[in-house]
């Protein structure tokens, strides 16, 4: 690892700590012994964090946990996507939950005792959850229009038919965008619209971040042209760019957890 230079540290410290702290650090690093000590301390800390990260990844990959299989009945399917009923015959108000296309529906139904769907049922609602299934090769040609008009619209109609009244639409993450479009096109068949963690402001305040993501465009195009879709690893790059140290922190924290809990 290269030695830390006073000019590099000054720029970083100024961004993080302000001018006065940066000036003090800059002055300290003019001393060779101080600069060497900081370099060695940085190497030691970085190595320890990297080792903890690798340990966390290894523990995660080797953990024996398997999520229990979903047992909820299906009230509608198009062959790939299906609509799961979490409270059959319940008299409560129907809720149609729409998750992201990127994540599994498990995000809204983690475990029996950690489930938004079960929680809604416990509160007296009649929740339905869209399971997008595993996309086939033909899905590469699908547009947002098709997901809304050919999948969500008939699923919405099936909920209304099964319960006798229009449901509340609940959209999570990207599913919130789909739910918004569905509600706008089917206002007469929508009781209300609830949005959770939905992206709504696409104008990042960070020009550097926006420019960095924009530079990835050619890579996405090449990947899509070669494989017919954007690979998972490439897509993960976008999420990584939002918080580059999140994965490092997450797996270091996982390494400290009780694996039997």
Q: What are the tens digits of pLDDT across the range 91-100?
A: 999 999 999 9
Residues 107 and 58 in one domain: no
pLDDT for res 1: 42
CB 155 within 8 A of CB 189: no
pLDDT band at 168 (very low <50, low <70, confident <90, very high): very high
Residues 240 and 154 in one domain: no
Given 62, 82, 102, the domain boundary residue is: 62
For residue 204, pLDDT over 70 is answered with no
pLDDT for res 232: 79
Residues 86 and 177 in one domain: yes
Whether 177 is covered by a domain: the verdict is: yes
Residues 92 and 180 in one domain: yes
- Quote the mean pLDDT of the chain: 86
pLDDT for res 169: 98
Whether 201 is covered by a domain: the verdict is: no
For residue 4, pLDDT over 50 is answered with no
- Residue among 191, 156, 8 at smallest CA distance from 78: 156
Going by the DSSP 8-state scheme, the letter that residue 198 receives in this structure is -
Q: How many domains does the chain have?
A: 3
Residues 57 and 102 in one domain: no
Whether 69 is covered by a domain: the verdict is: no
More confident residue, 95 or 43: 95
Q: Which residue do the tokens 């609940």 mark?
A: 170
Whether 188 is covered by a domain: the verdict is: yes
Mean pLDDT value across residues 204-211: 72
C-alpha angle 215-229-138 in degrees, rounded to nearest 5:
155
Whether 1 is covered by a domain: the verdict is: no
Given 62, 84, 107, the domain boundary residue is: 62
The count of other CB atoms within 10 Å of the CB of residue 218 is 9
Cα gap 237→232, rounded to integer Å:
9
Residues 55 and 93 in one domain: no
Residues 217 and 141 in one domain: no
Given 175, 196, 217, the domain boundary residue is: 196
CB 93 within 8 A of CB 123: no
For the chain, the helix, strand and coil percentages under 3-state DSSP, each to the nearest 5: 55, 15, 30
pLDDT for res 17: 54
User: Which of 20-24, 188-192, 217-221 has maximum average pLDDT?
Assistant: 188-192
Tokens coding 29: 């690093």
pLDDT band at 11 (very low <50, low <70, confident <90, very high): low
Whether 261 is covered by a domain: the verdict is: no
Displacement of CA 209 from its chain's centroid (Å): 18
Per-residue pLDDT tens digits for 97-130 = 999 998 889 999 999 889 999 999 999 999 999 9
Whether 68 is covered by a domain: the verdict is: no
pLDDT for res 2: 47
Query: By residue range, what is the domain housing residue 145?
Result: 74-196
User: Which of 5-9, 62-66, 238-242 has maximum average pLDDT?
Assistant: 62-66
Residues 89 and 187 in one domain: yes
| Domain harbouring 137, CATH code | 3.40.50.1820
């Amino acid at each position: 690892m290269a030695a830390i230079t006073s000019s590099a540290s000054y720029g970083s410290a100024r961004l993080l700590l302000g001018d006065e702290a940066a000036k003090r650090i800059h002055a300290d690093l003019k001393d060779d012994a101080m600069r060497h000590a900081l370099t060695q301390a940085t190497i030691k800390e970085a190595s320890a964090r990297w080792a903890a990260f690798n340990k966390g990844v290894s523990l995660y990959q080797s953990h024996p946990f398997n999520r229990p299989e979903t047992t909820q009945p299906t009230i509608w399917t198009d062959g790939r996507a299906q609509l799961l009923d979490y409270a059959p015959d319940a008299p409560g108000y129907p809720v149609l939950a729409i998750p992201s296309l990127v994540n599994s529906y498990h995000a809204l139904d983690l475990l029996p005792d950690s489930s938004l769907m079960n929680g809604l049922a416990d509160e007296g609602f009649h929740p339905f959850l869209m399971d997008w299934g595993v996309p086939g090769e033909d899905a590469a040609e699908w547009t947002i229009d098709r997901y809304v008009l050919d999948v969500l619209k008939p699923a919405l109609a099936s909920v209304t038919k099964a319960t006798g009244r229009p449901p509340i639409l609940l959209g999570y993450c990207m599913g919130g965008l789909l739910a918004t479009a569905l509600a706008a096109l089917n206002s007469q068949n929508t009781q209300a619209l609830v949005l959770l963690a939905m992206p709504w402001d696409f104008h990042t305040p960070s020009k550097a971040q926006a420019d960095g993501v924009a530079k990835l465009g050619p890579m996405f195009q090449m990947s899509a042209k070669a494989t017919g879709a954007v690979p998972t690893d490439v897509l993960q790059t976008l999420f990584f760019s939002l918080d580059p140290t999140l994965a490092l922190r997450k797996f270091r924290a996982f390494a400290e957890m009780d694996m039997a809990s």
